[in-house]
Amino acid sequence: MKAKCIIEKDYSIGDVDPRLFGSFIEHLGRAVYTGIYEPGHPTADAQGFRRDVLDLVKQLQVELVRYPGGNFVSGYQWTDGIGPVDKRPKRLDLAWKSIETNEIGIDEFVDWCRLAGTKVMAAVNLGTGTPAEAANLVEYCNHPGGTAWSDWRRQNGHAEPHGIKLWCLGNEMDGPWQICHLSAEDYGKKALEAAKMMRWVDPGIELVACGSSNSSMPTFPEWDRIVLEYLYEQVDYISLHNYYGRSDVETLGDFLASFHDMDQFIRTVAATADYVKAKKRSHKRLFLSFDEWNVWADRFATYETWDFAKPRLEQIYNLQDALVFGGLLCTLLNNVDRVKIACLAQLVNAIAPLLTEPGGGVIKQAIFYPFQQVSALGRGVVLRPLISSPRYESVYGDVPVLQLSAVYREEEEEVAVFVLNCAQEEAVELSLDFRSFTVVNPLEHMVLTGPDLKAVNSFAEPHKVVPRPLTLPQGDNRLMTVELPSLSWNVLRFKTKK
């Protein structure tokens, strides 16, 4: 099978916003407790943060971390998580049928983010919570001092404001599973009042409105339209969430084509936002925050007992998941003109690239690698690939066999090409035409592939699914040919001269 792609340095989609490489930690299962935090663990620091986990989080170069939920936030009283730890209440968490000890709250999470070299994207409770409580949280975090809330933060050991810039106005409020789920109208009104108060406290913050929980919601995209009619001028972003499951579709080809479904979702939300813009005669362009995305197979588990730090949503990712995941990353890159923020949901243990053992080690799951590669090499200008590839029929319609994204880092004089090859039977011979560059030299071709699509990394065999080097593309300077194995995720690096 053959395919061609022209990579032109002047045809750009846009600059990658580093916040495209965000992630998410929720008070959920073992994400916080025995995930990032485990006092007494051999690697724990004085605050109880696992340094082995921190080291791997740093390898992912995560730009921001959404916190504390997720479904959890819609029943969370943030004041439970501040002040002396031994005085903090234990509560029932209705979202995940868990006991929440509140050992970690906003102050500790900010400390953890500093250690991890990342920033907080905070979510406020618009389920059981009120606009006033949301504004109080902004004041606690961001006001310098001299008021009850800000002085409370200072007493709790943080003299300097946390300076949290990005705030989500609730979580998935369109979902009947959400604590105090709302209609679009009711959410629009409540979020509008919260947004006004939060911005009055700190005019420097950016706000994300809750868009639809996924593209299969019966209320999609009406929810988004109605919500934006209330909030268009008050918010900076609308959120998108979507998870792609092997069990949601019938065939491997359909699962691999998830990248196309994500692309359609992004386009529909952008079109909805633009419709509201036109209706309001607004000059403002609304951007998108894809603040929950991942591959996730078993979304509808239920739990019988009230547990503390027990496994919840601990998906073990296999090679096939990692391929789909790579395709989704390309879609995010190819929409950087609209998608400014994206959060891989989540970061540790719960549907995550990192898996820990309480008291034990931590491993990199298969999806760790595509994220790490794109986060390291994908911060530049996304070029619009002119691709001609064989196509196949999927549940999402006709899709190309290759999902490809190219990022140019001018300062480093490098182009990275990321390609998912969905062809199941044969390799694809891809000719890459760098006609607008003067010199192009191949540096590296890393590939994630293998005979067993169900292969996983485990504590016993942590390196079963890892990228491996392949022979470099062959060719004459600006015209290269590269062989992409069937069912593979490929990362190609080229040294370039303008």
- Cβ contacts of 192 within 8 Å, gap of 6 or more: 230, 231, 234
- Compute the distance between CA of residue 249 and CA of residue 256 in angstroms, rounded to an integer: 10
Helix (H) or strand (E) holding 186: helix 184-201
Q: Which is nearer to ligand AHR, 184 or 480 (CB)?
A: 184
Q: Which is nearer to ligand AHR, 111 or 314 (CB)?
A: 314
> Where does residue 162 fall: left (phi above 0), alpha (psi -120 to 50 degrees), or beta otherwise?
alpha
Q: Which is nearer to ligand AHR, 26 or 202 (CB)?
A: 26
The answer to whether 136 touches 93, Cβ cutoff 8 Å, is: no
Q: Does 63 qualify as catalytic in the annotation?
A: no
Q: Which of 292, 411, 413, 425 is catalytic?
A: 292
Helix (H) or strand (E) holding 373: helix 368-377
Q: Which of 26, 38, 108, 172 is catalytic?
A: 172
Helix (H) or strand (E) holding 358: none
Q: Does 292 qualify as catalytic in the annotation?
A: yes
CB 301, min distance to ligand AHR, A: 11
CB 75, min distance to ligand AHR, A: 11
Q: Which is nearer to ligand AHR, 349 or 403 (CB)?
A: 349
Of all residues in the shown chain, the one whose CB is closest to ligand AHR is 70
Residue 160, SS3? coil
- Residues 212-219: contacts with CB under 8 Å, at least 24 apart: 212/174, 212/240, 212/241, 212/269, 213/172, 213/174, 213/175, 213/241, 214/241, 214/242, 214/243, 215/242, 215/261, 215/264, 215/265, 215/268, 217/174, 217/175, 219/174, 219/184
Give the footprint of ligand AHR on this chain (CB under 6 A).
26, 69-71, 171-172, 292, 345-346
Q: Which is nearer to ligand AHR, 23 or 335 (CB)?
A: 23
CB 65, min distance to ligand AHR, A: 13
Count CB-CB contacts under 10 A for residue 306.
Answer: 12
- Compute the distance between CA of residue 421 and CA of residue 28 in angstroms, rounded to an integer: 34
CB 288, min distance to ligand AHR, A: 16
Q: Which is nearer to ligand AHR, 350 or 482 (CB)?
A: 350
The residues annotated with a catalytic role in the active site are 172, 292
